[in-house]
Chains A and B, each alone.
Chain A
């Protein structure tokens, strides 16, 4: 067992295990956001692909929290890796400015690690989600415009709209740092956990990157996952309200 730590900005990145990602590598980032789509996806994919916990991120700007896993103390933001995929996620709702700083440091970490793509599969609130059965997944990249590589997965380009929260920072900072960022946005509930949307996002992700993630169990366990995720969703909803996440429902005046 090795131990390595490095400060990037205000965040301490710790690695407990040496690991090397196969190419082309993908860093899948998820913070609590719309319908907890990202966190549910990251957590499910981590289990399904059998990724190992290789590190974590801590910061004096996080609440004083430690995650206990199999008797070990872990930082609130956890890093898992295996094959071509690395997942970085947390269930803890962080303050908006801390989220923004964390995302920026994560992009620096991705660059240092030589990651090829940084991906976030999150939700985009749909007015009529209750009546939607065939959920659409949109995409936007840090490069911008249409991307044939992404459209292979069945996602369509988000022509216009507003993004608020971690994905907005990923896009903007990804473009500045010349990191390839892909944001997948699947129609979802805003304030209710949405495993169905998570499953749809993962199907698209699998097709794009050729990483097979069978979502059958996610769909089967959707109701129990929703019930379990209630408190995490409540915390995230408070933070989303502070970020005026409801503005994502709106349309910009100038398009």
Chain B
């Protein structure tokens, strides 16, 4: 009887050690991931003369549609160019915006332009590309074939 109880506790201890080891490994993995996030190279966005617009991409099967939000941009200055697998979009604001009006921490900073470079999954054929601007949003449709 006592042998079987000893055996039971031995098995229980072994199982607990296994669980403890597994938890320890998981915690170490999580800690190392969070350390690399904290200690790794950081990209801090700051506000300057040029700001990056918000954009989003939709895969519609035969085409890729990219929406770029350019509020307060002067429509006539919107420029969309392609270089290999990259789309470069820029636009001037209707007039320079002094960020000092929003917060005095931004004293002396004026935003004048939007600009961003978007990586595309393929090199687009400019002849199979459509661009339209509506409500301050640029819609770029790139056909895949």
Contact = CB atoms under 8 A, between A and B. Distances in A.
A222 B56 contact: no
B120 interface: no
A190 B56 CA distance: 10
Given A226-B136, A231-B45, A192 B67 contact: yes
A228 interface: yes
A192 B137 contact: yes
B71 A226 contact: yes
Chain B contact residues, majority secondary structure = strand
A230 interface: yes
Interface residues of A, number: 19
B134 A191 contact: no
B54 A131 contact: no
A130 B45 CA distance: 28
A65 interface: no
Interface string B105-145: 00000010000000000000000000000111101000000
B76 to A, nearest CB: 16
Contact of A223 (B45, B134, B136): B136
Contacts of A192: 54, 56, 67, 69, 137
Contact of B102 (A223, A228, A233): A228
Interface in B56-78: 56, 67, 69, 71-72
A101 B117 CA distance: 38
Contacts of A131: 134
A130 B67 contact: yes
Given A130-B137, A131-B134, A191 B54 contact: yes
Interface string B92-106: 000001000010000
A222 B45 contact: no
Contacts of B72: 223-224, 226-227
Question: By CB atoms of chain B within 10 A, which of A190, A231, A233, A237 has the most?
Answer: A231
B87 interface: no
A178 interface: no
Contacts of B111: 227
Contacts of A189: 69, 137
A151 B30 CA distance: 49
A191 B137 CA distance: 12
Question: By CB atoms of chain B within 10 A, which of A193, A222, A223, A234 has the most?
Answer: A223
B54 A222 contact: no
Nearest to B73: A223
Contacts of A196: 135
Contacts of B89: none
Contacts of A130: 67, 134-135, 137, 139
Contact of B71 (A190, A223, A231, A234): A223
B97 A227 contact: yes
B139 A233 contact: no
A133 to B, nearest CB: 9
A80 B139 CA distance: 39
Question: By CB atoms of chain A within 10 A, which of B51, B71, B97 has the most?
Answer: B71
B91 to A, nearest CB: 12
A204 to B, nearest CB: 21
9 contacts: A130-B67, A223-B71, A224-B97, A226-B69, A226-B71, A227-B71, A227-B72, A230-B54, A233-B54
Interface of A: 130-131, 189-193, 196, 222-224, 226-228, 230-231, 233-234, 237
Given A130-B134, A237-B54, 15 more contacts: A130-B135, A131-B134, A191-B54, A191-B56, A192-B54, A192-B56, A193-B69, A223-B72, A223-B136, A226-B69, A227-B51, A228-B102, A230-B51, A233-B54, A234-B54
Q: Lowest 5 A-B CB distances belong to which pairs?
A: A226-B71, A223-B71, A223-B72, A192-B69, A191-B56
